[in-house]
Structure 1
Amino acid sequence: MMPQRVRLQYERTVCNPTAIVGCQVRRDPEGSTERYTRWINSLSPEQLYTQVFTSHGPTVVMPTWFCSRDWFLKVGPFDEGGKGVPEDLLWFYRSLRLGGSVLRVDECLLIYRYHQHAATHSVLEETIWTLRVNFLQERVLDQWDSFTIWNAGKQGRKLYRSLSLTNQKKVKAFCDVDEKKIKKGFYTYEDSKERPKPKIPVLRVKDASPPFIVCVKLDMTAGVLEESLASLKLKEGEDFYHFN
């Protein structure tokens, strides 16, 4: 920890007694998990809420957390189920469900060591996936009448299949930039028990309409995804949410 960490996070928490207060970090060794570290350190105050559904997990990383004892006692103890339990994500979601806020001190107050045997690597991807899908449905999709899944590929189709039947019926289309998927025209849910099997249109991005659930990884397309979202003048948290 940096010498000023406790003081700076304490000062934010005194004014925000129901908040999880995080901070920016520096990885050791330098350059470890470069995309993840950039994400941790550069989210805007609004994105600390809107990007809680991504595969990166909590928008303020657990080793940086600081909160009041009263708030910790209200949210309750960590899940002590042991290896493979994403106790940070479970606690983070529970805090948000109770109306807790998320803040970050925009100074590097922690050196965050990376090593290959960290407990985080024992958590199964499918465990995280199920928690994320359920939280997305609870917080967003259950309130929407319809939406478009941005990505007709593997991740977009997996999200569709993971949704409740009610929310599957709200998917009006997939959209993509891949001409092969667009020319095919639709995605057929072959494992559906419904007859006829659901067929979801696949559209070009420019022909699709919001709101969107974006199933394309951030910071992986040389800015193409981010430029596309900006060009459509969409507002994160209203017109779209990132899921991957």
Structure 2
Amino acid sequence: MNPHEDPSDASAPAEGTGIGRPADVSVIIPTYNAEAWLDECLKSVYLQDFPGTLEVSIYNDGSTDDTANLIRQWKSKLEDRGIDMIVGGHTSPKPRGVGYAKNRAIQQSSGCYLCFLDSDDVMMPQRVRLQYEAAVPLPKSIIGCRVRREPEEATERYTRWINSLTPEQLLTQVFTSHGPTIIMPTWFCSREWFCYVGQFVEDGQGTPEDLLFFYEHLRKGGGVHRVDECLLQYRYHEHAATHAVSEDTIWKNRVKFLEERVLQHWPSFTIWNAGKQGRKLYRSLTPNNREKVMAFCDVDCKKICKGFYTHEESEKRPKPKIPILHFKEAKPPFIICVKLDLTGGGLEENLHSLNLKEGTDYYHFN
């Protein structure tokens, strides 16, 4: 150790039972001040019906509550059950972030497959078994599952979206504000594929490390598959790490990925929504992609009657005037900036009336 380095800032070496052979599956748990939920979380690992070798790799990101003591208690319980537990962590006063903790938990683990679990969530007993069976023939895929929300009434639209996406939409709806179409606490993948994609970004609090990894996974040709059973209780609470990520950060990454994956291949397109979200997307595009926007379209007569959207770029360049059309008069392809499941079925009905194909004639960006 550097003599000028604070000893409390050094990561503690991982502790395990040293069984000397790789596990079939490592359950990866980053944790920070999780004493309220950790008992339930680790009990759900204890109750797994997976017939292969299972280990837990937990990394304590500087917790200041009773998390460390609970981990010690569960280590002996799990090992009595035949489940190895590797424990790492640090005692510095500031947490390093979820990406850092996940990476350390993966590095200290041995499993051929990685099963991600947040310390505030709970797995159903069959989760590891069913996702392992799905992952073996899909070595380049992230495997997810359906979830139930706790409390039940929290984020109803989001939960419905998670559970109802078709296999095709798992790939076509990756640009929406909801984030990855397979949510992080349900991820299951091979270690080999994870290492090929690369580790999580370690920029600390406020970084959407799961979204950035998911996009890189898709860039490298990775697949997405969901086991269509509810295998996880996904807890919503005010201290969840996801609340630390700003909407602006998510927006910028989504726009960048949309431009890279879709817009660079389209010679022209229409933005569906002449309101706030549609105009924001237009302003966020690169100059080259703004020039590809043929029109805005909408169903609101007041917006359509304005005739044009005028965007002031600079004093040296003339203001572009973008036509605003009724959606039936507009030409695909479309980038749709209207939130799904919020128009009483109106958006979905309008799309259906045009006989368009998602992923070819339009993508959702809402």
Range of TM-score over shorter length: over 0.9
Higher Rg: 2
User: What secondary structure does 1:227 align onto?
Assistant: helix
Partner residue in 2 for 1:121: 243
Given residue 98 of structure 1, which amino acid in structure 2 is its aligned partner?
A: K
User: What secondary structure does 1:67 align onto?
Assistant: strand
Equivalent of 2:348, from 211, 226, 231? 226
Q: Where in structure 2 are the equivalents of 1:168-183 lying within 5 Å?
A: 168-183=290-305
Structure 1 contact 152–181 (Cα < 8 Å) conserved:
yes
Equivalent of 1:83, from 190, 205, 219? 205
Partner residue in 2 for 1:111: 233
Are residue 141 (structure 1) and residue 274 (structure 2) matched?
A: no
Q: Where in structure 2 are the equivalents of 1:14-29 lying within 5 Å?
A: 14-29=136-151
Structure 1 contact 20–66 (Cα < 8 Å) conserved:
yes
Q: Where in structure 2 are the equivalents of 1:48-87 lying within 5 Å?
A: 48-87=170-209
Structure 1 contact 25–108 (Cα < 8 Å) conserved:
yes
Distance 1:235 1:91 in 2: 27
Partner residue in 1 for 2:41: none
User: What secondary structure does 1:206 align onto?
Assistant: coil
Equivalent of 2:337, from 209, 215, 225? 215
Are residue 150 (structure 1) and residue 272 (structure 2) matched?
A: yes
Distance 1:107 1:232 in 2: 33
Distance 1:112 1:8 in 2: 18
Shift of 1:191: 3.6
Shift of 1:149: 0.1
Shift of 1:193: 5.1
Work out the number of aligned pairs and report it: 244
Are residue 235 (structure 1) and residue 357 (structure 2) matched?
A: yes
Any stretches of 5+ residues in structure 1 without a counterpart?
Answer: none
Q: Where in structure 2 are the equivalents of 1:198-209 lying within 5 Å?
A: 198-209=320-331
Cα RMSD for the two superposed structures: 0.8
Cα separation, partners in 2 of 1:142 and 1:194, compared to 1, 3 Å:
farther
Question: Once the two structures are superposed, what CA deviation does each residue of 1:100-155 show, in whole Å capped at 9, x if it has no partner?
Answer: 00000000000001101111011011100000000000000000000000000010
Distance 1:160 1:73 in 2: 36
Percent of residue pairs identical = 73
Distance 1:212 1:192 in 2: 27
Q: Where in structure 2 are the equivalents of 1:155-194 lying within 5 Å?
A: 155-192=277-314
Partner residue in 2 for 1:47: 169
Distance 2:316 2:350 in 1: 35
Question: Once the two structures are superposed, what CA deviation does each residue of 1:136-191 show, in whole Å capped at 9, x if it has no partner?
Answer: 00000000000000000010001001101111000000001111111110000024
Question: Once the two structures are superposed, what CA deviation does each residue of 1:188-225 show, in whole Å capped at 9, x if it has no partner?
Answer: 00244553211100000110010000000000000000
Cα separation, partners in 2 of 1:111 and 1:238, compared to 1, 3 Å:
same
Distance 2:156 2:345 in 1: 16
Are residue 98 (structure 1) and residue 217 (structure 2) matched?
A: no
Structure 1 contact 52–59 (Cα < 8 Å) conserved:
yes
Given residue 303 of structure 2, which amino acid in structure 1 is its aligned partner?
A: K
Are residue 5 (structure 1) and residue 127 (structure 2) matched?
A: yes
TM-score for the superposition, normalised by structure 2: 0.66
Any stretches of 5+ residues in structure 2 without a counterpart?
Answer: 1-122
* Larger relative contact order (CA 8 Å, sep ≥ 6): 1
Q: Report the structure, 1 or 2, having the larger helix content.
A: 1
Partner residue in 1 for 2:3: none
Structure 1 contact 21–65 (Cα < 8 Å) conserved:
yes
Distance 2:303 2:315 in 1: 24
Distance 1:169 1:29 in 2: 46
User: What secondary structure does 2:341 align onto?
Assistant: coil
Q: Runs of 4 or more off by more than 6 Å in structure 1?
A: none
Distance 1:10 1:44 in 2: 21
User: What secondary structure does 2:136 align onto?
Assistant: helix
Given residue 358 of structure 2, which amino acid in structure 1 is its aligned partner?
A: E
